């Protein structure tokens, strides 16, 4: 069997990618955009709101009287569509329209 020789140890090899060379980007490429096209801040706000609101409504349903339970349902029916529309508007404002993901 022939012996194998190693020319350079792996630590001395210079990596070639990922390389950020803005001069070699195509006109439509942008390395700074969010790949899914949705602003991550809006996604985080949506997740936070969903958890806090679910805890509030659940607490109201479990602990409250009949009127508190009715108020929890009414609160959910009114608040959820309003918050969803506000977050959708915020996402449209902050979305990268110059370099859309798709």
Domain ranges in the chain? 35-92
pLDDT at 41: 82
Taking CA atoms, 28 is separated from 35, 49, 85, in Å, by 13, 35, 30
Whether pTM > 0.75 for this model: the answer is no
100, containing H or E segment: none
pLDDT at 98: 66
The pLDDT tens digits of the residues spanning 29-51 come to 666 655 566 677 888 888 898 89
């Amino acid at each position: 069997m022939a012996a194998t020789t190693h020319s350079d140890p792996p630590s001395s090899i210079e990596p070639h990618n990922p390389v950020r060379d803005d001069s070699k980007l195509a006109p439509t490429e942008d390395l700074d955009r969010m790949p899914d096209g949705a602003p991550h801040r809006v996604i985080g706000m949506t997740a936070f709101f969903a958890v806090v609101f679910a805890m509030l409504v659940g607490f109201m349903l479990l602990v409250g009287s009949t009127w508190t339970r009715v108020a929890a349902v009414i609160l959910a029916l009114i608040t959820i569509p309003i918050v969803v529309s506000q977050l959708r508007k915020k996402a449209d404002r902050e979305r990268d329209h110059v370099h859309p993901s798709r």
